[in-house]
Amino acid sequence: MGKSEELRIWSGERLKRDVSTHSIIPARVVLNRALSRRFHIIKVRPLTLIKRPKPVQFFMVWSPGVDELPLSVAGYNASGEITFIYEIKGPGTRRLSELKPDSFVGLKGPLGRPLEVADGGTALVVTGGSGVAPVPFITKHLASKGYQLEVVWGVKRGDELFNLCSLMSGFEYLNIATEDCSAGYCGLASELAKSLLSKTRYDLVVGVGPKKMLESLCKATLGVKTYVVLEAIVKCGLGLCGSCVLQPTDRLLCVDGPAFKCEEVIEYLEQ
Amino acid sequence: MGKSEELRIWSGERLKRDVSTHSIIPARVVLNRALSRRFHIIKVRPLTLIKRPKPVQFFMVWSPGVDELPLSVAGYNASGEITFIYEIKGPGTRRLSELKPDSFVGLKGPLGRPLEVADGGTALVVTGGSGVAPVPFITKHLASKGYQLEVVWGVKRGDELFNLCSLMSGFEYLNIATEDCSAGYCGLASELAKSLLSKTRYDLVVGVGPKKMLESLCKATLGVKTYVVLEAIVKCGLGLCGSCVLQPTDRLLCVDGPAFKCEEVIEYLEQ
Amino acid sequence: MSTLSSEADLSTAVAGVKLKHVLMNASGVLGALPEHVTRLANYGLAAVVTKTFTKRPREGYGPPIILRLENIGFLNAVGLANPGVGAVPQVVRRGKELGLPIMVSVGGSTVEEYVEVASVSADAGADLLELNLSCPHTMGYGLDVGSDPSNVFEVTKAVASVSKVPVVAKLGLSDNYIKSAGKALEAGAKALTLINTIRAMVIDVYSLRPVLSNVFGGLSGPPLHPIAVKVVYDVYREFSPEIIGVGGVTNWVTAAELVLAGAKAIQVGSALSSNDPRELIRSILGGLSEWVKGLEYVRLTDLVGLAHRK
Amino acid sequence: MSTLSSEADLSTAVAGVKLKHVLMNASGVLGALPEHVTRLANYGLAAVVTKTFTKRPREGYGPPIILRLENIGFLNAVGLANPGVGAVPQVVRRGKELGLPIMVSVGGSTVEEYVEVASVSADAGADLLELNLSCPHTMGYGLDVGSDPSNVFEVTKAVASVSKVPVVAKLGLSDNYIKSAGKALEAGAKALTLINTIRAMVIDVYSLRPVLSNVFGGLSGPPLHPIAVKVVYDVYREFSPEIIGVGGVTNWVTAAELVLAGAKAIQVGSALSSNDPRELIRSILGGLSEWVKGLEYVRLTDLVGLAHRK
Ligand SMILES: Cc1cc2nc3c(=O)[nH]c(=O)nc-3n(C[C@H](O)[C@H](O)[C@H](O)COP(=O)(O)OP(=O)(O)OC[C@H]3O[C@@H](n4cnc5c(N)ncnc54)[C@H](O)[C@@H]3O)c2cc1C
Ligand SMILES: Cc1cc2nc3c(=O)[nH]c(=O)nc-3n(C[C@H](O)[C@H](O)[C@H](O)COP(=O)(O)OP(=O)(O)OC[C@H]3O[C@@H](n4cnc5c(N)ncnc54)[C@H](O)[C@@H]3O)c2cc1C
Ligand SMILES: Cc1cc2nc3c(=O)[nH]c(=O)nc-3n(C[C@H](O)[C@H](O)[C@H](O)COP(=O)(O)O)c2cc1C
Ligand SMILES: Cc1cc2nc3c(=O)[nH]c(=O)nc-3n(C[C@H](O)[C@H](O)[C@H](O)COP(=O)(O)O)c2cc1C
Ligand code: FES
Ligand code: FES
Can you tell me which atom of ligand 5 is nearest the CA of C30?
Answer: 3
**In DSSP terms, which residues pair with C204 in a beta bridge?**
C209
The amino acid at residue B144 is S
CA-based nearest distance C256→chain B, Å: 10
Distance D248 CA to ligand 5 centre (A): 29
Phi-psi sector, D257: left (phi>0), alpha (psi -120 to 50), beta: alpha
Alpha helix (H) residue ranges in chain D: 34-42, 88-97, 111-124, 143-146, 149-162, 177-186, 225-239, 252-261, 277-294
pLDDT in tens, B197-238: 888 889 999 999 999 999 999 998 888 899 999 999 999 999
Any chains having at least 3 CB pairs less than 8 A from chain A are C, D
Q: What is the pLDDT of residue C234?
A: 98
Phi, psi of D264 (to 5 degrees): -105, 0
pLDDT grade, residue A190 (50/70/90)? confident
Distance C68 CA to ligand 3 centre (A): 14
CB contact under 8 A, B21 and C294: no
| Cα–Cα separations (whole angstroms), residue A200 to A124, A175, A194, A228 | 10, 14, 10, 19
Other residues' Cβ atoms within 10 Å of the Cβ of residue A55: 25
CA gap B6, D269 in Å, rounded: 38
**Could you tell me which of A85, B211, D234, A19 has the C-alpha nearest to residue C200?**
D234
Cβ atoms C196, C225 nearer than 8 A? no
If you average pLDDT over residues D238-257, what whole number do you get?
97
CA-based nearest distance C224→chain B, Å: 12
Q: What is the pLDDT of residue D4?
A: 45
Q: What is the pLDDT of residue D143?
A: 55
Q: A220-246 burial, b if ≥16 CB within 10 A, otherwise e? A: bbeebbbbbbbbbebbbbbbbbbbbbb
Considering only CB atoms, D201 lies closest to which of C176, C229, C303, namely C229
**Could you tell me which of C222, C211, C286, C218 has the C-alpha nearest to residue C249?**
C222
Rounded to two decimals, the ipTM of the complex is 0.92
**D298–A contact, CB cutoff 8 A:** no
If you average pLDDT over residues A190-215, what whole number do you get?
91
Q: Tell me the pLDDT of chain A averaged across its residues.
A: 87
Cβ atoms C187, C153 nearer than 8 A? yes
If you average pLDDT over residues D283-305, what whole number do you get?
94
Helix, strand counts (H, E) of chain C = 9, 16
Longest dimension (CA), chain A: 68
Ligand nearest to the CA of D170: 4
CB contact under 8 A, C286 and B21: no
Residue of C91, C124, C135, C152 marked active site: C135
Q: What is the pLDDT of residue C140?
A: 53
If you average pLDDT over residues B10-27, what whole number do you get?
66
pTM for the predicted model, two decimal places:
0.94
pLDDT grade, residue A3 (50/70/90)? very low
**In DSSP terms, which residues pair with A127 in a beta bridge?**
A153, A208
Ordered DSSP codes for D44-75: T-SBEEEEEE-SS-B--PPSP-EEEBTTS-EE
Domains in chain B, ordered, with CATH?
3-111 (2.40.30.10), 121-229 (3.40.50.80)
The amino acid at residue C228 is A
Considering only CB atoms, A4 lies closest to which of D226, D253, D290, namely D290
Q: What is the pLDDT of residue C281?
A: 97
pLDDT in tens, A242-266: 999 999 999 999 999 999 999 999 9
Domains in chain D, ordered, with CATH?
4-308 (3.20.20.70)
Considering only CB atoms, C67 lies closest to which of A24, A234, A241, namely A24
Taking CA atoms, what residue in C is nearest to B11? Answer: C294
CA gap C247, D33 in Å, rounded: 39
pLDDT in tens, B23-64: 889 999 999 999 888 889 999 999 888 899 999 999 999 988
Distance D105 CA to ligand 4 centre (A): 11
3-state DSSP call for residue C176?
coil
CB contact under 8 A, C63 and A68: yes
Q: Tell me the pLDDT of chain C averaged across its residues.
A: 92
**Could you tell me which of D45, D49, D43 has the C-alpha nearest to residue D277?**
D43
Name every chain B residue with its beta carbon within 8 A of the beta carbon of C7: 1, 4
**D7–A contact, CB cutoff 8 A:** yes
pLDDT in tens, B110-164: 999 999 998 889 999 999 988 999 999 999 999 889 898 999 988 888 888 887 8
Angle between helices C111-124 and C149-162 (to 10 degrees): 40
CB contact under 8 A, C69 and A247: no
Taking CA atoms, what residue in C is nearest to B1? Answer: C286
Q: What is the pLDDT of residue B190?
A: 86
CA-based nearest distance A66→chain D, Å: 12
CB contact under 8 A, C201 and D175: no
A199/B14: higher pLDDT = A199
B with D: touching (≥3 Cβ pairs within 8 Å): yes
Say which residues have a Cβ less than 8 Å from residue C53's Cβ, sequence separation at least 6.
Answer: C32, C82, C83, C84, C85, C87, C88, C104, C105, C106, C107, C117, C121
CB contact under 8 A, C70 and A22: yes
Q: Is D135 a catalytic residue?
A: yes
If you average pLDDT over residues A110-114, what whole number do you get?
96
Beta strands in C144-274 (DSSP E): 167-171, 191-194, 198-201, 203-204, 209-210, 216-220, 243-246, 265-268
pLDDT in tens, D138-186: 445 545 677 889 889 999 999 999 999 999 999 999 999 999 999 999 9
Q: What is the pLDDT of residue C137?
A: 46
